Chain A
Amino acid sequence: MLNVLSAVLVLGLLGALFGALLAVASKIFEVKKDPREEAILAKLAGANCGGCGYPGCAGCAAAIVAGDAPVTACAPAGADAAAAIAEIMGQTATVGEREVAFVRCNGGTAAVKRFEYVGVQDCTAAEKVAAGPIDCAWGCLGFGSCVKACQFDAMHIGPNGVAVVDEDKCTDCMACAAVCPRHLIVSVPVSKKVRVLCLNQEKGKAAMTVCENSCIGCGLCERECKKDAIHVVDGIASIDYAKCINCKLCTKVCPRDAITPVATAEDKEKYKEVKKKAAEAKKKAAEVAAAKSGKPAAAKK
């Protein structure tokens, strides 16, 4: 009993002594820090994800105070935090719309397999083996390097073997984009739901043979768009989100189902009918107009 008591007492005293010494030392060696730094640190996401390019959240806070980083540097913290940080810094934040990561592939099981890969379950490793186990050089390999990179549990491999983003959880830190060996992950505005699901730059048959869902660069979407928002650049459709209005017309004409939200066959059929009718009505109107303009012309004669 005495043994236990003395052990507790001695170690307790030692601890108290060191604690007191440290308390004194912390007063002597106190470093005056900018109080804004700590206030900003409290507003940051605190995940130390490194998405801002600074070593950890403390580094980011220091950079914001020093003026090296914008007040919106922390994407995961969101617009509210950016506004709060701007207030601390005495600025007004110009915050754009929230963006999320998006995987530009819908291949997975639809992509043509070249061989069965059984090595390390990692996309970069799989990519190194004869340039990847699928024929498409732009397709998602589905080994989940991005899933491992995500600090926010927002990245998962979907049912068809392609990585998908949980937009509620995604903070747009883009840690996933950095590890994707095929650079498939891009940042898109969260409200714009029409997105091209492919990054294959081959055209026509070359793109068609490697995957069932590839963009073949046919340009149907480009002709269908009323807002001049979608264009085929380098063999791949890409959307200008400053112009896109989520009308989804392009999804209904895409013959390869390469634009999300993918329209059902029924929808496509319906849209074809509507277009046919519209074309007929237009034709009729033109005939009528021609007939009308024809008469006065004839009368003149």
Chain B
Amino acid sequence: MKELSTLITITIGAILSNNFIFSQFLGCCPFMGVSKKIDTATGMGFAVVFVMGLASAITWCVYNWILLPLNLVYMQTVAFILVIASLVQFIEMFLQKSVPSLYTALGVYLPLITTNCAVLGVALLNIQNSYNFIEAVVYGITGGVGFLLAIVLLASVREQLVFADYPKSFDGFPIALVAAGLMALAFMGFSGLDIFK
């Protein structure tokens, strides 16, 4: 029972109160870059969920079974980047073969997941919070879901911006940044959910 409540706490934290984008400010590059259309934003979001979940699992194994016994903890960042980079390569090949439409829609942003700090962030945070394997995987997946939620919300806001009457000089990224900032403010409201901890 206690384990279940920990998992729920992790889930709520990763999606709402400690959202990777809105309160930890990780992964902002694809967040701004791929949030022009809901379709591609959803695709990117699911790709990140997938990568973050898998990366959490693999980096947890690498850390606890290889780095820890060999006293190589100080190499964790390098090892994690190695894992993430190969994982993204793998996903790229997989998508190109099985979902080519998503592959072309994501375009240059798919390889960019490699440098998405949310992915490296989740791997490092798993270690920092000394999660066990299941907790780490849940944190990875729900962190990705948080990213998915954030990017889809911003994409829907940005699609509606066509009808908004804002100064022309705000066109493009400036108004998107304003929208993202307001959403981050709104997400601050969820910080009250931390009492579950």
Contacts and interface: CB of A to CB of B under 8 A. Distances in A.
Interface of A: 3, 6-7, 10-11, 14-15, 18-19, 21-22, 25-26, 29-31, 55, 125, 128
A125 B167 CA distance: 13
B175 to A, nearest CB: 16
Interface residues on B, range: 20 to 34
Contacts of A19: 86
Interface stretch (B2-10, B13-21, B72-80, B131-139): B72-80
Given A29-B97, A31-B96, 15 more contacts: A6-B70, A6-B71, A7-B75, A10-B66, A10-B75, A11-B78, A11-B82, A19-B86, A22-B90, A25-B90, A25-B94, A26-B93, A29-B94, A29-B96, A29-B98
B89 interface: yes
22 contacts: A3-B71, A6-B72, A10-B66, A10-B67, A10-B70, A10-B75, A11-B78, A14-B82, A14-B83, A15-B82, A18-B83, A19-B86, A21-B86, A22-B86, A22-B89, A25-B94, A26-B93, A29-B96, A29-B97, A29-B98, A31-B96, A55-B107
A128 B72 contact: no
Contacts of B129: none
A11 B169 contact: no
A3 B70 CA distance: 9
Interface in B112-169: 168-169
Contacts of A55: 107
B169 to A, nearest CB: 7
Nearest to A18: B86
Nearest to B98: A29
B183 interface: no
A74 B86 CA distance: 34
Given A7-B72, A10-B72, A18 B82 contact: yes
Contacts of B78: 11
Contacts of A26: 93
Contacts of B94: 25, 29
